[in-house]
Amino acid sequence: MPDFEEVAERVWVARYEWADANVTAIGSDRGLVVVDTHGSTAAGRVVLDDLHRLGAGPVAAVVNTHWHWDHSFGNAAFREQDPDLPIHAHEDAAAMLAEKGEYMKGRFAESDDPHRDDVVATELVIPDHIFSSTRVLDLGDRTVELVFPGRGHTSGDLVVRVPDVDVMLAGDLVEESAKPWIGLDSYVFDWPGTLDLVVAMATTETRIVPGHGIVVDRTFVDDQRDELVAIAETVRMLAGSGVPVDRAVAEGTWPWESDERIANAVTRGYEALPPSSRSLPLA
């Protein structure tokens, strides 16, 4: 059972083994803001137990950094404790969870994942406090900013800033313990520019909590951005030189060993490019 570790004054991060998921709690006079709720109602209840042991006050609000199951499927556990608890997210994250949440549960139902039954039993709770660009949470003695820096890992990733301690929570726009997950709901051409904004909001001192892995700094995010630039440029180059989509993964030179992420980047990139840039004659 992980403990919440204080990474800055009254900002605690717990790193859970399942999905190597980070959950962050931000303390204030008005209670805790909990960012991400892990992957099932049962897992969310474990987070609540761990928060109880932390003893830093009741939960005042929940934030989902994006719609993915390992960040939002624990929401129901928090609502069990407080039916009026506000759950914040970007409007696209709420829409995607409503649209795709049951599909994700179905994927687990068909798998032999050890957490399958917990996920299948999970009641989806869609964030009810949505916004499009920015939102400030006034917590009395501290403010927390929710910022939508643009599309990337999904269409609705938000970044949480805690300005008084120079901390930023980047969700899965940044990953430390693995390469950033490029999925079939990712935006490969937007992601680097989105990270430009994340980097611009950071100082050299900013502690950046990724969705998965340990705290990083601005330089780390800048380096991860460069890898995503290389992927986007390679996809654009392959499509522009007429390489068919089914040969693109093999013919590209990628910043890391080609994997499902790279395959997804090719799929998504080719989908996003206008047909003319895919069918340019070679001569």
State the nearest-atom distance from the C-beta of 108 to Zn ion, in Å: 15
> 104 or 239: whose CB is closer to Zn ion?
104
- Shortest Å, Cβ 172 to Zn ion: 4
As beta bridge partners, residue 201 has none
CB of 68 to Zn ion, least distance (A): 4
Which one, 68 or 105, has the nearer CB to Zn ion?
68
**Of 68 and 142, which has the nearer Cβ to Zn ion?**
68
Work out the widest C-alpha separation in the chain, in whole angstroms. 68
Q: Do residues 152 and 194 touch, judged by C-beta distance below 8 A? A: yes
- The residue ranges that bind Zn ion (CB under 5 A) are 68, 172
Q: How far is the CB of 14 from Zn ion (least distance, A)?
A: 17
* CB nearer Zn ion, residue 22 or residue 41: 22
Supply 43's token pair. Answer: 């897992």
Q: How far is the CB of 97 from Zn ion (least distance, A)?
A: 12
Amino acid at 77: A
- How far apart are CB 23 and Zn ion at their closest, in Å? 14
Pick 142 or 268: Cβ nearer Zn ion: 268
**Amino acid in position 193:** G
Q: Partners of 169 in the beta sheet?
A: 160, 209
Report the residue number, 2 or 183, with the smaller CB distance to Zn ion.
183
61 DSSP β-pair partners: 33
Minimum distance from CB of 46 to Zn ion (Å)? 20
Using the minimum distance from each CB to Zn ion, give the nearer residue, 70 or 243.
Answer: 70
CB of 39 to Zn ion, least distance (A): 11
Which residues on neighbouring strands pair with residue 26, listed in sequence order? 11, 33
Decide whether 147 or 243 has the Cβ nearer to Zn ion: 147
